[in-house]
Amino acid sequence: MATDGVAADAYRPLFFDESDLGDAAELARLRADGGVTFRDLRDLLRAEFNGLVSRPQLAETIDSDRWIYYPWRGTVLGLPGPETMRAIRLDRNRNKITRAEQETLARQKIGIVGQSVGHSIAHVLVMEGTCGELRLADFDTVELSNLNRLPGTLFDIGVNKAVVAARRVAELDPYLPVRVFTGGVDGDNVDAFLDGLSLVVEECDSLDIKLTVREAARRRAIPVIMDTSDRGLLDVERFDLEPTRPPFHGLLGDTRSADLRGLTTREKAPHVVRILDAAGFSASMAASLVEVGETISSWPQLGGDVHLGAAIAATAVRQLGLGRKLPSGRTRVDLESCLDAIAEPVPPGEAAWPEADPESAPRSGVAAVLAAAQCAPSGGNAQPWTLRCTDDAIEIALAPERSTVIDIGYRGSALAVGAALYNARVAAAAAGLLGSSRLLTNGAAPLTAVLTLGDGSDPALACDYSAILDRHTNRHFGTGAALDADILAGLARVAEAAGGALRCAVTRSAVTSAADLLGTADRCRYLTPQMHAEMFSELRGPGDDLRTGLDLRSMEFAPYEAATLGIGRRADVMARLRDFDGGEALGSYTRDRVLSSSALVAVTYRVPPPDDGDELAGYARAGEVVQRVWIEAERYGLAVQPVSPAFLFARRPAELSTVSPEFADTLTSLQGRFLDLLEVPEHETMALVLRLSYAADATVRSRRLPVPDADTRG
């Protein structure tokens, strides 16, 4: 049968290569045919390809271009080759389906039996790029009554349903291999249909063919999925995993396909009910089944339900193709039930933050010394120490339970203990209680700082008293204004006087390079599960105990940053980003703030090597240097923010494997480049990295845990 010279069963376009003499002659003949339209889409599509973000590198050249003739359309299209077409067409799938996943799915060969519902499934599979070959089977032709659910047109009436589906697929992806079985599937050709398939989607109306397909699929260990349009029922039979499982989950007992051939609609009814479960029908479907053959010719199906079924089936195909969990069984995606549960969204309310801490009564004596120690800076405001007051001393013991994975060997905690000891000495000097101090590394705690209380004073120390109490972190964006050389020199002198050194990035190019390195290190922190969990466990919001951790307001989030915070804290999102090596934007919080800085400085110290029992004491001494540089920077009117990359406390490459098994090599490289950028000599160890800028005042300051009671002395 032919219509206007086009075979009624034509469903494959014809391909022409202009460089081939025979093809060129045929193209010339088609151009001379007034009934054939030519459209060259190559330049348009190549421009679209060139506009893709992170476009793939393709081996394909213009030699792969083709003129493609759709005889049922009377149109020839000029198109790029299959790789270019696929890259463009599937680009908007990313990253719900990654490129690597797309390549995996493209290896699937899928058969679909029954093209009333199967047509929509085939189209969705091709839209999503979920297969590399399709086989479509249906013996029936399109009737007008089919168009309530089959996405065809009046021009398709009288054409085989499988051919109509194949034509639609070809108009979406002409390069996709499609094979059509216009006689449908039966016992004679089912094995040929299934040969080599990854899975089969069964959507036919005939009960005996349904069972025939399953019996053959079981023999070949091919999974079968089926979607029924009523109440979104998805049925999965994993014959690939369970080759002995009975068809239809055993709901038909010992019934075989031969037993169902030739049955009337009334005779098939008991089997249909057993397969589909009468209790699961919607009320309207159940009522309609009573009327089949009486007031309606067949059971009803709605176009929306069919399209929903296509989405459900396509998702199941994706799960199978990617090796994700999809056991044998059934589930429903019932839209009416979902709509029954519709409810008003709850608008976000204004966060009810507690009032600011009331001004505490002035402290003096030992109480002032303890309070000053508690004001010291620490990573994530963890306050990784315990304070204890004895008759003649104050002990600041490192608390291992407050450590994190970044705090390798408690080095960051030791740094904080050293800063706390400096604060205690300053307060003791101001109160006339200054005695000797020492660092112990052989006690119950990994490190204990001890300040003996005496009756001494030190005017140089005492002059820092108000400064240590006022010291705070400021995470506001900076103005980027240049830092006066005299300020840097003054900060360097303070570091050197305390036994340390300052290594700086001051030029715009150096600050930019540092921002990129630190931003990349922060991305590793987000994408490493333990670091990510610890990072967000530090944040405190309304209703949380604000005496430890970081008050969200102190993060100084820009509106766009606050809006995406809920995404950033999700571990499942980070896992997905890690899967496809994404998340470049994750380091933007740090990167953007460093870019707005006037300078970036690393406070360094000659810390004993890791095997030396005095290493933690060395970090504690470096803590004093950090504290003195910090308060001096604030005297110059600078905003100070510590930016602690994940590699900060690593002193051996192997240590970064404990910090981030996933990104150890990346962090090792970043650390080396960062040390080179700041020209840190090998004999110096970075204690802390500080971002210096001119910025607005901080919104809030971090609070502290209460200090132990102590007798006050004048």
Q: How far apart are CA 511 and CA 516, in angstroms?
A: 9
pLDDT confidence of residue 298: 79
Q: How far apart are CA 126 and CA 176, in angstroms?
A: 9
> Class assignment of domain 95-336?
alpha beta
Please report the DSSP string for 297-324 in residue order: SS----HHHHHHHHHHHHHHHHHHHTT-
Residue bearing the bigger pLDDT, 697 or 278: 697
- pLDDT of 362 strictly over 70: no
Phi, psi of 220 (to 5 degrees): -100, 5
Q: How far apart are CA 39 and CA 644, in angstroms?
A: 58
Please report the DSSP string for 457-487 in residue order: --HHHHTTHHHHHH-----SPP--PPPPHHH
Question: 257 with 215: CB under 8 angstroms?
Answer: yes
Provide mean pLDDT across the span 670-689. Answer: 97
**What is the H or E stretch that residue 436 is in?**
strand 434-440
Question: 181 with 94: CB under 8 angstroms?
Answer: no
Q: How far apart are CA 618 and CA 612, in angstroms?
A: 10
Q: How far apart are CA 529 and CA 194, in angstroms?
A: 43
Residue that is written with structure tokens 């399953």 in the block: 214
pTM (2 d.p.): 0.86
Provide mean pLDDT across the span 352-363. Answer: 68
Domain 365-693, CATH among 1.10.443.10, 3.30.390.50, 3.40.109.10, 3.40.50.11540 = 3.40.109.10
Provide mean pLDDT across the span 383-392. Answer: 95
Q: How far apart are CA 334 and CA 352, in angstroms?
A: 39
How many other CB atoms are found less than 10 A from the CB of residue 514?
Answer: 27
Question: 379 with 416: CB under 8 angstroms?
Answer: yes
Residue 323 buriedness (CB in 10 A; 0-12 / 13-18 / 19+): exposed
Question: 134 with 177: CB under 8 angstroms?
Answer: yes
CA angle 164, 169, 173 (to 5 degrees): 150
Per-residue pLDDT reduced to its tens digit, 300-311: 889 999 999 999
pLDDT band at 359 (very low <50, low <70, confident <90, very high): low
- pLDDT of 712 strictly over 50: no
Average pLDDT, the chain: 93
Instruction: Extract the runs of DSSP E, i.e. beta strands, from 580-682.
Output: 599-605, 639-642
- pLDDT of 361 strictly over 60: no
Question: 318 with 201: CB under 8 angstroms?
Answer: no
pLDDT confidence of residue 1: 33
Could you tell me whether strands 14-16 and 6-7 are parallel, antiparallel, or unpaired per DSSP bridges? unpaired
Residues in the chain, total:
714
- Decide: helix, strand or coil at residue 305: helix
pLDDT confidence of residue 459: 95
Q: How far apart are CA 87 and CA 370, in angstroms?
A: 64
φ/ψ bin of 271: left (φ > 0), alpha (ψ from -120 to 50), beta (otherwise): alpha
Provide mean pLDDT across the span 38-44. Answer: 97
Per-residue pLDDT reduced to its tens digit, 239-262: 999 999 999 999 988 888 888 888
Q: How far apart are CA 203 and CA 200, in angstroms?
A: 10
- pLDDT of 146 strictly over 70: yes
Domain ranges of the chain: 1-93, 95-336, 365-693
pLDDT confidence of residue 714: 39
- pLDDT of 422 strictly over 80: yes
pLDDT confidence of residue 713: 40
pLDDT band at 294 (very low <50, low <70, confident <90, very high): confident
Residues 6+ away with beta carbon under 8 Å from 471: 375, 377, 627, 630, 631, 634
Question: 103 with 125: CB under 8 angstroms?
Answer: no
pLDDT confidence of residue 3: 41
Q: How far apart are CA 175 and CA 86, in angstroms?
A: 9
Residue bearing the bigger pLDDT, 212 or 709: 212
Q: How far apart are CA 93 and CA 634, in angstroms?
A: 50
Question: 693 with 479: CB under 8 angstroms?
Answer: yes
